[in-house]
Structure 1
Amino acid sequence: MPQMLLESVNVGQPVVLDRDKPDKTTGICKRPMVGPVRVHRLGAEGDAVVDTRHHGGPGQALYLYSREDYAFWSARGFETGPGMFGENLTVSGVESANLCIGDRLAIGEVVLEVTASRIPCATFAKRMGDPGFVKKFRDAGRPGAYLRVIAEGHIEAGQAVELIPFAGDRISLGEHFALVFTAMKKPLSREMIERLLALPLAERDRVDNLERLAAL
């Protein structure tokens, strides 16, 4: 795998995407920052999380997407660039689907842990100006990575990113992403649910899988 690099750190404040719903805001519109940005337990300093039901929290403190993933979308005519998909960290040197739950990323003094894949929503489709983007994102299998903050500190664009592979059972984000959509249609096996629960999942994913297990 090539050396990973932090291309940009992106933050955003609440904005209105739908003029017909002026009271509904979102934090998906993020822009690259210049200089060091503090990363704390719940995310990047100055970044807004509006939909706290589905986003944010310790297990989804940051969202990562890669230049390699963006190249896929650019080739298909979509606007791309740091922060376009609402990610806090834009990196190069990896395709997000190949990261595994439990992998850690060390960026200077900051250590992050991969916890879940991103599941697309209507707000994401609105951001992209394409009502069909949720399906396109699902079919592309390039989910990006939600991250837990293990060690706080400051990061900035241009820093090297060290990948520390998870030593346990390795389930990639590509696999996790597919399993989420499979579970919407039919129950996952007990074995698969237990494999997932043995990983350092994001809290929302853990609750979902505990409910699936209880329903068997």
Structure 2
Amino acid sequence: MKLLSVNRGRAAASAHTGQPEGLTGIGKRPAEGPVEVRDPGPSGTGGSGLVGDDVCDLRHHGGTRQAVYAYAREELDHWEAELERPLRNGEFGENFTTLGLDVNGALLGERWRVGPDLVLEVTASRIPCRTFAGALDEKQWVKRFTAAAVPGAYLKVVQPGSVRAGDAIAVLHRPAHEVTVATHFRAHTLERDLLPRLLEAGDVLSPYTREKALAHLDKHGSVARAGN
């Protein structure tokens, strides 16, 4: 398992952000040499965990829980065939393009070491937005991406460090529950009956997700079961 590329983006104008400034940092490109990764701070004020990577919509992106976004090269290859077009590393706005790692099968709270020092913890799945759809410029992209349920993972920084393309990735810890990135995504999108199951992940859940799961459980009184 390794880090195929480390990707950063600079703020650029876009007609698809829905923000007054009309800027986005989704257009990420592989970086040359080492890149420092640290905790960017609270959501709403902190940006990307990668030094030199711009986050323009701080309300929905960046911050401690979304310091790094990882997506597997294997999934990009699948989408290349599906869309019949080349997709470079960073095309989906991911900071880390991985190889040999089951990103969507990772458990919430799972910890990875990347390179010699950096330690990350899986916190949530990515939810597609209009900026992502606009950047990719594919018809009904949000619907298609959602149906595929291979969203990639957001991670927080447990121990800061510098990384570069080619660094090894090791899974340091896997929690005892079975709540994966893919399950988190499906619960928030097309399979809402899975929401209460997310509570099995414990404190790694965001307050927003916990509230949604508890509200669903209170209303429906059951926990759906599903695989990855």
- Tell me: CA distance 1:131–1:53, structure 2 relative to 1, closer, same or farther (3 Å): farther
| Pairwise CA distance, 1:97 | 1.6
Q: 1:92 aligns with which of 80, 96, 99?
A: 99
Aligned CA RMSD, in angstroms, stands at 2.2
Match of 1:75 in 2: 81
Match of 1:173 in 2: 181
Match of 2:113 in 1: 106
**Residue-pair matches, total:** 206
CA distance in 1, matches of 2:73, 2:195: 34
Q: 2:199 aligns with which of 194, 203, 209?
A: 194
Q: Which runs of 4+ in 1 moved over 4 A?
A: 19-22, 186-190
* Conservation of the 8 A alpha-carbon contact between 1:60 and 1:148: yes
* Conservation of the 8 A alpha-carbon contact between 1:41 and 1:58: yes
* Conservation of the 8 A alpha-carbon contact between 2:113 and 2:119: yes
Q: Give ranges in structure 1 of 5+ residues lacking alignment.
A: none
Match of 1:210 in 2: 211
- After TM superposition, list the pairs within 5 Å mapping 1:1-216 onto structure 2: 4-18=1-15, 23-42=21-40, 43-76=49-82, 77-107=84-114, 108-182=116-190, 190=196, 192-196=197-201, 198-201=202-205, 203=206, 206-214=207-215, 216=218
| Pairwise CA distance, 1:5 | 0.7
* 1:182-213 residue CA offsets vs partner (Å, 9 max, x unmatched): 46xx56565x25324x1413x3xx32322542
Aligned AA for 1:210?
E
* Conservation of the 8 A alpha-carbon contact between 2:35 and 2:162: yes
Instruction: Give identity over the alignment, percent.
Output: 38
> What SS does the corresponding residue of 2:104 show, helix, strand or coil?
helix
> What SS does the corresponding residue of 1:147 show, helix, strand or coil?
strand
- Greater mean alpha carbon deviation, residues 150-159 or residues 76-85: 76-85
Q: What is the TM-score normalised by the length of structure 1?
A: 0.87
Aligned AA for 2:105?
N
CA distance in 1, matches of 2:16, 2:72: 30
CA distance in 2, matches of 1:95, 1:89: 13
* Conservation of the 8 A alpha-carbon contact between 1:119 and 1:177: yes
Aligned AA for 1:64?
A
- Tell me: CA distance 1:140–1:5, structure 2 relative to 1, closer, same or farther (3 Å): same
Aligned AA for 2:142?
V
CA distance in 2, matches of 1:131, 1:81: 19
| Pairwise CA distance, 1:50 | 0.8
- Tell me: CA distance 1:193–1:91, structure 2 relative to 1, closer, same or farther (3 Å): closer
Q: What is the TM-score normalised by the length of structure 2?
A: 0.83
* Conservation of the 8 A alpha-carbon contact between 1:69 and 1:96: no
CA distance in 1, matches of 2:100, 2:156: 20
| Pairwise CA distance, 1:95 | 3.4
> What SS does the corresponding residue of 2:13 show, helix, strand or coil?
coil
